[in-house]
Structure 1
Amino acid sequence: MIYTVTLNPSIDYIVEVENLQLDALNRMKRDLKLPGGKGINVSRILSRLGIENTALGFVGGFTGRFIEDVLNAESVVTDFVNVQGDTRINIKLKHGEETEINGLGPEIGSGEADSLAEKLRTLTSDDIVVLSGSVPPSLGGGYYDRLIAVIKERGARFVIDTTGDALLKALPYGPLLVKPNHHELAELFGVEIDGREDLILYGRRLLEMGAQNVLISMAGEGALLVTKEQVYHANVPRGEVKNSVGAGDSMIAGFVGTLATTGDPLFALRTGTASGSATAFSDDLAEKAKIESLLPQVQVNPV
């Protein structure tokens, strides 16, 4: 089973306005409410690919109930910890460009934090846990370390998709996959990256620090998979980019889900790249048919 963990989920409230006028009444052209959060995005794509998974994390209030209802309707099993405060709402205001206003999220108490860690004590060596996104301040900077300790104790594998110190602290535990984009990789090592050779150099550095696989997304330039044996490049399919939200999460879902079910890292790279592109070409997260239609366009070659 694949489990996803989203520590600070949200409702993403997408509002489109024709011509935004400040200090005046504006009427929406359209609006859309979606469950948000990186791990939740991974769960939704896994479910659309027909891969069983369970979404974990913290939800609260009427906004939390909305997220659970949508996920259950999409055949995602949920086992959230319910908290006292309301799950946050993030506003994405589209007016030619996009303006984002993100909520803070609820305070997580120590008992609630303990409850989530306890849920991981049922894991087995057949399970994979995807840890995605930042850690809310109320949980403290070492909360991922605490969850990883339980995961490793149970013999399960984990994927971590975060940045900065949280990622660096996780590397010695041997994550199955890390997925920085080219900007995040440069920030992680405090360097300027100039071309593919630099990406491979620092991708291999992450392997030396403990990662088992490094997946580097490069926007229109495709993706690199850096393994201990070889480096592979996948091209990006053709299409019109409509959406920047969730493409990286979709790539992780396609890669991890395919790797877990087939054991083939190259097919996983193709599926991950097609999944990320399909979401970028859609208004919401990609549907299975869109992902499958792009798969033939994705070619993987050794570098």
Structure 2
Amino acid sequence: MVFAPSPQLTVTVEQVGDEEEIHLHAGGQGVWVARMIKSLGVRAVLCSAFGDETGRVVRNLILDEGLDLGAVEVAARNGAYVHDRRDGERTEVAQAPGRALSRHEQDELYNVALAEGLRAKVAVLAGVADEQVLPPDVYRRLARDLRRNGTTVVADLSGDYLTAVLEGGVDVLKVSHEELLRDGRAPDDAVPSLVAGLFTLREDGAANVVLSRAEHPALVLIDGEVFQVELPRLEPADHRGAGDSMTAGIAATLATGRELDEAVRTGAAAGALNVTRHGLGTGRADVIAQFTTRVRLTSVPGHPASAAPDRESRQGHTSPEQLAEGAKR
């Protein structure tokens, strides 16, 4: 189950040869995560609210992609933004934020997400582009209710939403080093400071933490031990979406019953390969599975992890067939 309270409508203007083209897509973190999970052969139900004309368009675009929906019809509109990419760079033209859900609409969305989450092996809690849509406490309650009843909770959040989900408790937290710094959870981006931040997040309620660091190796805290994620360098076509694809890869692999260290490698592979493509949350399962064999979890200089040799020796990768079989189970 992917919790994405209010997906957005994205409108992109592009130049193709001598012609201008306009493309409509469903966007937002939760949509991108669900899209990549589906690409990996695992079924995902996107739990979201849809309202007004933007909501109707976004809902149909999601259904056209073949994604499953736990949809709630609301009066509040979904957000939309328009950007111009005719010169190769992304320039924002206009943005209309999503509207706040009423108390009744919040309750309806919560009940749908809870029901789908309890049916799922893994629940991903994704953020909202417009903070007025939903209060952070909904995330605290949902994380706590799902974990208490046996669902593995993966969260990719920041700010007040991160604080709330930590209070509820989370099995795997994905966060970027920029978000860690912005939230005041680390004083700088030096490795010792970031490692200390990982352990602080663990004390606050995250059982395991994955910290992405842009072009630098990600840092992970698994079962109380710290590792860095080493993978081959690739030239990016579009740097956006790497973190969301990483979250999706972790969740999809856990849903098939694989171990967290393998889930992290798969997530890192999905994120790295996503930046070589145009289109957020896209990729091929067979290519990602092959690239996973090149990803290593190694000791962090100055912070040796006693289990590092064991992590490196367990380099089996998740094949598309294993992903599909796990999704059936």
Please indicate the TM-score interval, normalised by the length of the shorter structure: 0.7 to 0.9
- Equivalent of 2:13 in 15, 26, 30: 15
**Residue identity matched to 2:294:** Q
Partner of 1:24: none
CA–CA separation in structure 2 for the residues paired with 1:140 and 1:262 = 32
Verify: 1:287 aligned to 2:279, yes or no.
no
Any idea what the Cα deviations from partners look like across 1:221-259, whole Å, max 9, x if unmatched?
121211233212212433221223322111000011112
* Larger mean Cα displacement after TM superposition, 183-192 or 280-289: 183-192
Partner of 1:237: 232
Corresponding pairs, count:
293
Partner of 2:247: 252
* Larger mean Cα displacement after TM superposition, 135-144 or 197-206: 135-144
CA–CA separation in structure 2 for the residues paired with 1:10 and 1:28 = 26
* Larger mean Cα displacement after TM superposition, 65-74 or 87-96: 65-74
CA–CA separation in structure 2 for the residues paired with 1:196 and 1:121 = 37
2:140–2:166 contact (8 Å) kept in structure 1: no
SS of residue matched to 2:206: coil
- Equivalent of 1:111 in 104, 115, 121: 104
TM-score of the two chains, using structure 2 as the length reference: 0.80
CA–CA separation in structure 2 for the residues paired with 1:136 and 1:186 = 19
SS of residue matched to 1:202: helix
Q: Does the C-alpha gap of structure 1 residues 156 and 16 become closer, same or farther in structure 2, counting only changes over 3 Å?
A: same
TM-score of the two chains, using structure 1 as the length reference: 0.86
Give the deviation of 1:205 after TM superposition.
1.2
Partner of 2:320: none
Partner of 2:127: 133
**Residue identity matched to 2:282:** A
Q: Does the C-alpha gap of structure 1 residues 141 and 229 become closer, same or farther in structure 2, counting only changes over 3 Å?
A: closer
Give the deviation of 1:17 after TM superposition.
5.7
CA–CA separation in structure 2 for the residues paired with 1:268 and 1:155 = 19
SS of residue matched to 1:233: strand
Q: Does the C-alpha gap of structure 1 residues 164 and 48 become closer, same or farther in structure 2, counting only changes over 3 Å?
A: same
Give the deviation of 1:153 after TM superposition.
5.1
Any idea what the Cα deviations from partners look like across 1:110-166, whole Å, max 9, x if unmatched?
221111111244343853221111364153342323433442454423222211122
CA–CA separation in structure 2 for the residues paired with 1:167 and 1:121 = 19
**Residue identity matched to 1:166:** Y
Partner of 1:189: 184
Ranges in structure 2 where 5+ consecutive residues have no aligned partner: 301-329
Give the deviation of 1:53 after TM superposition.
1.2
- Equivalent of 2:59 in 48, 51, 68: 68
Partner of 1:163: 158
1:253–1:272 contact (8 Å) kept in structure 2: yes
Partner of 1:217: 212
